[in-house]
Amino acid sequence: MPSDVDLAAVWLTLKLATVTTLILLIIGTPIAWWLARTRSWFKGPVGAVVALPLVLPPTVLGFYLLVAMGPHGPVGQLTQSLGLGVLPFTFPGLVVASVLYSMPFVVQPLQQAFEAIGARPLEVAATLRANHWDAFFTVAVPLAKPGFITAAILGFAHTVGEFGVVLMIGGNIPNKTRVVSVQIYDHVEAMEYAQAHWLAGGMVVFAFLVLLALYTLNRTGRNL
């Protein structure tokens, strides 16, 4: 049976994934919208930066975040001057890292959804007296709904599956930064295979259910 410590890790993981997904939907949407609609020269570089976590080893991202957010890094200096202390080895630090790490999984499906809509529905909205904001919320967002569902599910699931970045900047502090993937690692290190099985098996079931939901929703979404 999973212990209290295991359940605390599960709870922390869900909390981290939920907060990260919400933040990503809020900041990822304008980024995806801009990437989908701009003809600016910056589109390539910005798209590449957003996609970096897809190809970088998590340890690389974690290392630079650790340096940047540490007491002598630029972000660390800023957070200290704002009276927030330093972020590494705290839950907010994990959130910041997760947001960057999971960003492509939210931005890319949204960008594809916005690109698929094209300019026409927004032009139609303009000829029907809707200004840009109005058209965005009443036309673009509803038409991109399958993209939002995909983005939310992928962002959430990918944050749940995070390990390397957490270890680099979060460490292994119970109730603060010890998420499920780290807890499994601890169990295995301590030869507690039964405990590891509970959590690892749970993760497999969770991942399967998430992907099943994604494919089912996307199929019905297309039929609408």
Partner 1 sequence: MSIEARFRLDYPDFTLDVNLTLPGVGVTALFGPSGSGKTSLLRCVAGLERATSGYLTVNGQVWQDDARRLFTPTHRRPLGYVFQEASLFSHLSVHRNLDFGLKRTPVAERRVGLEQIIALLGIGPLLDRRPAHLSGGERQRVAIARALATSPRLLLMDEPLAALDLKRKGEILPYLERLHSELDIPVLYVSHSPDEVARLADHVVYLEAGRAHAAGPLNEILTRPDLPLVHLDEAAAVLDARVAGHDEVYHLTEVSIPCGRLAVSHSALPVGAPTRVRIHARDVSLALQPSERSSIQNVLPATVLDVQGDHDPAQALVRLDLGNGAILLARITWRSVAHLGIAPGIRVYAQVKSVALMD
Task: Report, in Å, the least distance between residue 141 CB and partner 1.
Answer: 10
Nearer to partner 1, 144 or 180 (CB): 144
SS3 42: coil
Q: Is 182 in the site for partner 1 (CB under 8 A)?
A: no
Give the binding range for partner 1 (CB under 8 A) out of 20-28, 38-46, 105-113, 126-134.
126-134
Candidates 151, 113, 150; CA nearest to 33 is 113
Q: Is 194 in the site for partner 1 (CB under 8 A)?
A: no
Q: Is 121 in the site for partner 1 (CB under 8 A)?
A: yes
SS3 191: coil
Is 154:141 a contact under the CB 8 Å cutoff? no
Give the count of beta carbons closer than 10 Å to the beta carbon of residue 2: 16
Distances (CA, A) of 158 to 25, 52, 101, 123, 205: 14, 15, 9, 35, 14
Q: Which of residues 148-167 bind partner 1 (CB under 8 A)?
A: none
Q: Is 221 in the site for partner 1 (CB under 8 A)?
A: no
How many positions of this chain bind partner 1 (CB under 8 A)? 19
Task: Report, in Å, the least distance between residue 138 CB and partner 1.
Answer: 8
**DSSP letters of 124-174?**
HHHHTT--HHHHIIIIIHHHTHHHHHHHHHHHHHHHHT--HHHHHHT---T
Q: Is 134 in the site for partner 1 (CB under 8 A)?
A: yes
Q: Is 126 in the site for partner 1 (CB under 8 A)?
A: yes
Q: Is 139 in the site for partner 1 (CB under 8 A)?
A: yes
Residues in contact with partner 1 by CB under 8 A are 120-121, 123-131, 134-135, 138-139, 142-143, 145, 224
